[in-house]
């Protein structure tokens, strides 16, 4: 007789080491929803970060998870929950439970490459050019930096960080804060400063302008891409796509997005919200297909889970199976 599968949902707050600032505002803690699925004395866990940009709150997400109940399959999840944070936590918890019950890693279950170590971005919060340059100089051991940008003044910010860290690889994330008028001059500055990509410069509902001009720096879709079916529409206006578990609704859809992006000739960024190590552990399977990896959330926390992901000098290691997978 198969033992009953049970579900537990909790909302947790993880203070940040310092305020995290993007174009939409600042945060001082990561509020996450954690799911535990248990069966036969074995537990699988998943974590999600509800995102206000998409109308999500921790309370509503927890309620949606509880209403969905303990899933029996990943197909069940696709039928009962839309893409988003709630489905992500359940999908990842189910993979963790299945792997532990089977005694093999998730990569084996999925017939995907075993995750290896990758270099992750380290994010510099949006601030004055001087503050961002100081932050860049403060992490001389980290060589892949991601600048949060905010529109007017980003030319000075990019040049200040490049002057402070001529050795670093740089990517930028505008979080939809640029206008069409700012687009061409700021992309030119990004090219002059050697940026490898700029994420989501224009609002998702106004990004058609990207398809009408030359892009001297590759442009990466974030808010414009949630699931695999979004990929086709990106090809004429973007060069890459940021795949996040919380947008896609879990590892199942995130891997489908990676397959679709590769087929379409788009580069991949494996990204995440600000979360604990549990939130980024499943994303290491997507990271194996990525040109850029942006999974530095645990580095931004005052304290992480134990055991947590090991990130040393910007190199992120695959998760210990005691954490996930």
Q: In what order do the strands lie in the sheet with 42-48?
A: 5-22, 25-39, 42-48
In sign, the C-alpha dihedral spanning 102, 293, 126, 54 is: negative
Which residue(s) pair with 244 in the sheet?
Answer: 271
166 CB burial (10 A radius; 0-12, 13-18, 19+): exposed
The one catalytic residue among 27, 100, 146, 148: 148
Query: Which residues in 176-209 are b (16+ Cβ under 10 Å) and which e?
Result: bbbebebbeebbebbeebebbbbbbbbbeeebee
Please state, in angstroms and rounded to a whole number, the distance separating the CA atoms of residues 229 and 41. Answer: 38
Mark whether 100 is an active-site residue: no
Distance CA 2, CA 5 (A): 9
Instruction: Round to whole Å and give the CA distance between 216 and 257.
Output: 25
Q: Is the sign of the CA dihedral 151, 153, 158, 161 positive or negative?
A: negative
* 27 catalytic per annotation: no
* DSSP assignment of 236-251: TT-SEEEEEHHHHTSH
100, 146, 244, 247: the active-site residue:
244
H or E element, residue 67? helix 58-68
Pairing relationship of beta strands 118-119 and 315-316 according to DSSP bridges: antiparallel
Q: How far lies 259's CA from each of 88, 103, 265, 288, in Å?
A: 18, 26, 10, 12
- Catalytic residues, by residue number, are 148, 244
């Amino acid at each position: 007789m198969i033992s009953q599968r049970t579900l537990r949902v909790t909302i947790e707050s993880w203070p940040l080491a310092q305020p995290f600032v993007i174009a939409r505002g600042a945060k001082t803690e990561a509020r996450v929803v954690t799911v535990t699925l248990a069966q036969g004395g074995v537990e699988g866990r998943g974590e999600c970060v509800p995102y206000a940009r998409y109308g999500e709150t921790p309370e509503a997400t927890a309620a949606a998870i509880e209403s969905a109940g303990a899933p029996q399959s990943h197909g069940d999840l696709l039928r009962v929950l839309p893409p988003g944070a709630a489905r992500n936590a359940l999908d990842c918890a189910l993979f963790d439970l299945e792997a532990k019950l089977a005694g093999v890693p998730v990569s084996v279950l999925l017939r995907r490459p075993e995750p290896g170590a990758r270099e992750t971005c380290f994010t510099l919060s949006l601030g004055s050019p001087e503050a961002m340059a100081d932050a860049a100089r403060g992490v001389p051991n980290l060589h892949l930096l991601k600048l949060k940008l905010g529109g007017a003044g980003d030319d000075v910010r990019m040049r200040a960080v490049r002057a402070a860290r001529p050795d670093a690889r740089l990517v930028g994330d505008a979080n939809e804060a640029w206008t069409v008028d700012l687009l061409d001059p700021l992309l030119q500055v990004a090219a002059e400063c050697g940026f490898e990509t700029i994420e989501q410069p224009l609002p998702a509902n106004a990004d058609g302008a990207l398809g009408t001009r030359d892009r001297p720096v590759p442009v990466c879709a974030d808010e414009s891409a949630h699931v695999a079916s979004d990929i086709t529409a990106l090809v004429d206006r973007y060069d890459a796509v940021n795949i996040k578990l919380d947008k896609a609704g879990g590892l199942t859809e995130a891997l489908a997005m990676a397959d679709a992006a590769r087929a379409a000739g788009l580069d991949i960024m494996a990204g995440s919200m600000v979360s604990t190590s549990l939130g980024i552990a499943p994303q290491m399977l997507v990271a194996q297909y990525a040109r850029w990896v942006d999974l530095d959330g645990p580095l931004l926390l005052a304290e992480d889970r134990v055991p947590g992901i090991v990130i040393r000098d910007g190199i992120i290691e695959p998760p210990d199976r005691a954490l996930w997978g």
